[in-house]
Amino acid sequence: MILTNKKSVSAIVLAASVVASSFSGLTVKAEETEVTTNWSREQASKIELNEDNTLPYTDISELEKLAADYHIWDTWPLTDRDGNIASVKGWKVMFALSAPNDVLPGKVHDIATIRYFYSKNGKDWTLGGTLFPEGASLGSREWAGSAMMDDGKIHAFYTATGHRGEAHLTFEQRLAMATGDIIADSNGVHFENWGDHKIILEPDGKYYQTKEQARQGEGGGYAFRDPMWFKDLKTEKEYILFEGNSGGAVGDRTFKKEYAGSSEYTSENPVPAGAVHANANIGIAEVVDGEPSNLKMLPPLLEANYVNEELERPHIVVKDKKYYLFTDSHINKYAEGLQGPEGLYGFVSDTLIGGYEPLNESGLVLANPPENPYQAYSWLVLPNLNVVGFAHFGDLGDMSIGDVGNQSAEFQFEHFGGTLAPTVKLSIKGDTTKVGKEYSPGWIKQ
């Protein structure tokens, strides 16, 4: 989501935070510091575009729409319980947020609906329809999620944003799910017999900010969304990852040294007051007794306090026994004094919980080229390291993304992708990554 980023806080708040910081180290509970890593300002300050992380230019006006009648954006495949891309009687299935193609790009989030596609070759996709019957899901719109197949059933996780049937759009975000039957034959795939939709997780206000706490601030975002299924094959334990914000209202936040980095860095790069508004985190909850709707909330895997305001669609790929934690973020979500592109970011650890280090030192894995900084977004790294994302806004020249909504409808439609971007291959070696070959849009197979 791109929202206007208002960063305004008085110097007094910073002074208070800095004073508090000298004591806060003494009061932090050991368990919290061990399990949650903070992406530091020092690490993020190393972000730079280079040939290993910069995508080739995409002319998005040349892309064919995945679905002629719909804009689509965030996309995810059906996996099996272990996280492999599923095959249902030879069909692969992909889900995407969608909205009718006559809706202005800036309005699509307000009526987002999950639709699904199926394909034999993982390349040419046929639109199946909406994932859920009309009116069944719990929000007033459906935001990103994931889907896992087990024993002929689909467990579909999504974000219930707002509340079903509300007259005016509200922004509460809750993690939700429903389970249904997968029916596949030579004609394609569909879903039937959906059970009740359930809310499976809501922010606790301690580790994860509630919408009420978010409102108490003078700016800054609110997120509790994008449930992503993950099974740790080392331990057989199962989890849901999600996008959140660190708990508490802005006035309750205390600055900690580790948010900035080393003393050398901090002495040269004082933390601006407005940075207090950035409090994105990557949340995790453990599945209890193998029942995906029964979750135990855990402390966040990663926080970006004083660094970044939105770490979207977090997901993990395990390679060479290491956990690679990926997430997406926007140019305008960086804390005051830091800069980064619309990009895919990543962290690596030997353990699922704790110990994450940014990939490529800074965390930046994949970025749009500087001449087309909004060409794609919402990248998802698949188990085979193919990365799918959607085509966002192309060829805006010097226009900032916030200005797009002020242009004519014609301009907005002309520059909006609303379809899949080319799939791109990522290679990973230890704690470094490299952008590789591009494939046709939406190709999820190697």
Minimum CB–partner distance for residue 141 and ligand FRU (Å):
8
- Kindly tell me the burial class for residue 59, based on how many C-beta atoms sit within 10 Å of its own C-beta (0-12, 13-18, 19 or more): exposed
Which residue's CB is nearer to ligand FRU, number 400 or number 446? 400
Minimum CB–partner distance for residue 161 and ligand FRU (Å):
7
Report whether 369 contacts 55 (CB < 8 A).
yes
The residue whose two tokens read 């407005």 is 274
- Kindly tell me the burial class for residue 29, based on how many C-beta atoms sit within 10 Å of its own C-beta (0-12, 13-18, 19 or more): exposed
Report whether 81 contacts 62 (CB < 8 A).
no
Query: What is the rounded CA–CA span in Å between residue 138 and residue 439?
Result: 36
Which residue's CB is nearer to ligand FRU, number 74 or number 172? 74
Q: Is 172 in the site for ligand FRU (CB under 6 A)?
A: no
Q: Is 144 in the site for ligand FRU (CB under 6 A)?
A: yes
Q: Is 273 in the site for ligand FRU (CB under 6 A)?
A: no
Catalytic residue (choose from 74, 172, 243, 310):
74
Which residue's CB is nearer to ligand FRU, number 202 or number 357? 202
442 C-beta neighbours (distance < 10 Å), count: 24
Which residue's CB is nearer to ligand FRU, number 14 or number 200? 200
Q: Is 97 in the site for ligand FRU (CB under 6 A)?
A: yes
| Of the candidates 309, 316, 242, 430, the residue with the CA atom closest to the CA atom of residue 39 | 309
Number of residues that bind ligand FRU (CB under 6 A): 16
The residue whose two tokens read 């070959």 is 437
Query: What is the rounded CA–CA span in Å between residue 65 and residue 276?
Result: 40
Q: What string of H, E and C letters represents the secondary structure of 325-359? A: EEEEECHHHECCCCCCCCEEEEEEECCCCCCCEEC
Catalytic residue (choose from 42, 310, 312, 328):
312
The residue whose two tokens read 């980023």 is 5
What part of residues 187-226 is at the interface with ligand FRU (CB under 6 A)? 225-226
Report whether 159 contacts 174 (CB < 8 A).
yes
Which residue's CB is nearer to ligand FRU, number 39 or number 73? 73
Q: Is 143 in the site for ligand FRU (CB under 6 A)?
A: yes
Which residue's CB is nearer to ligand FRU, number 376 or number 382? 376
Minimum CB–partner distance for residue 32 and ligand FRU (Å):
25
Q: Is 47 in the site for ligand FRU (CB under 6 A)?
A: no
Q: Is 313 in the site for ligand FRU (CB under 6 A)?
A: yes
Minimum CB–partner distance for residue 139 and ligand FRU (Å):
11
Say whether 42 is catalytic.
Answer: no
Exactly one of 79, 279, 378, 423 binds ligand FRU (CB under 6 A); which one?
Answer: 378
Q: Is 312 in the site for ligand FRU (CB under 6 A)?
A: yes
The SS3 call for residue 200 is: strand
Contact mark string toward ligand FRU, 111..130, x via CB under 6 A: -x------------------
Say whether 312 is catalytic.
Answer: yes
Written as six digits, the tokens of 221 are 């975002």
Q: Is 109 in the site for ligand FRU (CB under 6 A)?
A: yes
* β-bridge pairing 141-150 and 70-80: parallel
Report whether 302 contacts 359 (CB < 8 A).
no
Query: What is the rounded CA–CA span in Å between residue 72 and residue 331?
Result: 21
List, by residue number, the catalytic residues: 74, 312
Q: Which residues bind ligand FRU (CB under 6 A)?
A: 1, 73-74, 97, 109, 112, 143-144, 159, 225-226, 243, 312-313, 377-378
